[in-house]
Amino acid sequence: MNEHDLVKVFSTDTIIIRTELFLRDLSENKSAATVQTYGRALGIFALWVDELGGRIELTQKKLELFPVYLRQRRKVTPRTILTYLTALKKFFEYLSSVGLLEEDPAKDLKLKTRIHSTSRDFLTQDEIDRVLNVSLSDDPVPRRDQAIMLLMLLEGLTEGDITNCNYGDLENTLMGIELRIRTKSGPICIPLDSRTVTALNHYLTTRERPIANNAPLFCTHGSNIHDERISKRSVRSRMRIFLNQADITREDISPQSLSYTAVYLQIQNGISRDELRTRHRPLILFRRIESLKEKGLIDPSF
């Protein structure tokens, strides 16, 4: 290793070269989606440094200006800022661990951002189109995430529903594939959109066969933990990555917005209120319909 590698100032070109090295190493134990998200975050970091003149002193004080840039100039949401800062910290942690930096300038960088985990609004049509057209690889994780996203966006499942579903809850009926959701007041059988069925089938082909009826419909696919039931926290995190990939960064949009938007899409597709009652919990349905009315997205008489 050359002595000039252990510098305290990075140029834009150096960031790009080091990023490629970091992402190559990251891809060995992280999913393609995580690598893509970290790559996007570090690309924005390189762009910021380029706007500063192409060089940055590697100090905590200088790095603390990056989230300010994200918030003020790029209007990035607090949750996305957190993702970008996490990527930045992992980047410098890696460079220090392999000896390309004497000290980690980001080790004491605080992830200072307020996150409103319950923030929610309805996706616009443009945002819906973008999230439906996120490009995917054939790996199990992105295929699983796409199926989860469609169940939330098109069918209205909550994060808890996704976590609780078993493989045996899928039912092949005369009317098509339905998914049985267990609720406190009894099961709800939801007819699935053909796009959801296609995504589910594509994901399930990546699973080891046979799949037991009591096995989770969606499971983990990590290098250390495999085939365990996916947690609500993981669902929320993965859907946040999906929204980031679609470049949806509004502060009032959260993974829960996918479920909120489902009722709006179903009404747009001509589904009656009586039919909606068979697909959604009463209180959830009432709240979402009232919210749609308040925003002027549906007729007040609906």
Residues 42-84 have pLDDT tens digits of 999 999 999 889 999 999 888 988 988 888 788 787 778 888 9
Q: Is 73 helix (H, G, I), strand (E, B) or coil?
A: coil
Q: Which domains does the chain have, with CATH numbers?
A: 3-97 (1.10.150.130), 125-294 (1.10.443.10)
Q: Give mean pLDDT, residues 147-175.
A: 94
Least confident of 116-120, 133-137, 164-168, 189-193: 116-120
CB atoms within 10 A of CB 240: 21
Q: Is 124 helix (H, G, I), strand (E, B) or coil?
A: coil
Q: Give mean pLDDT, residues 268-296.
A: 91
Query: Is the four-CA dihedral 222, 156, 149, 204 of positive or negative sign?
Result: positive
Which helix H or strand E contains 220, and what residues bound it?
strand 219-221
Predicted pLDDT at 20 = 94
pTM of the full predicted structure?
0.65
Least confident of 4-8, 40-44, 88-92, 100-104: 4-8
Predicted pLDDT at 1 = 40
Q: Give mean pLDDT, residues 256-285.
A: 93
Predicted pLDDT at 302 = 87
Smallest CA-to-CA distance from 105 within 67, 68, 39, 61 is with 61
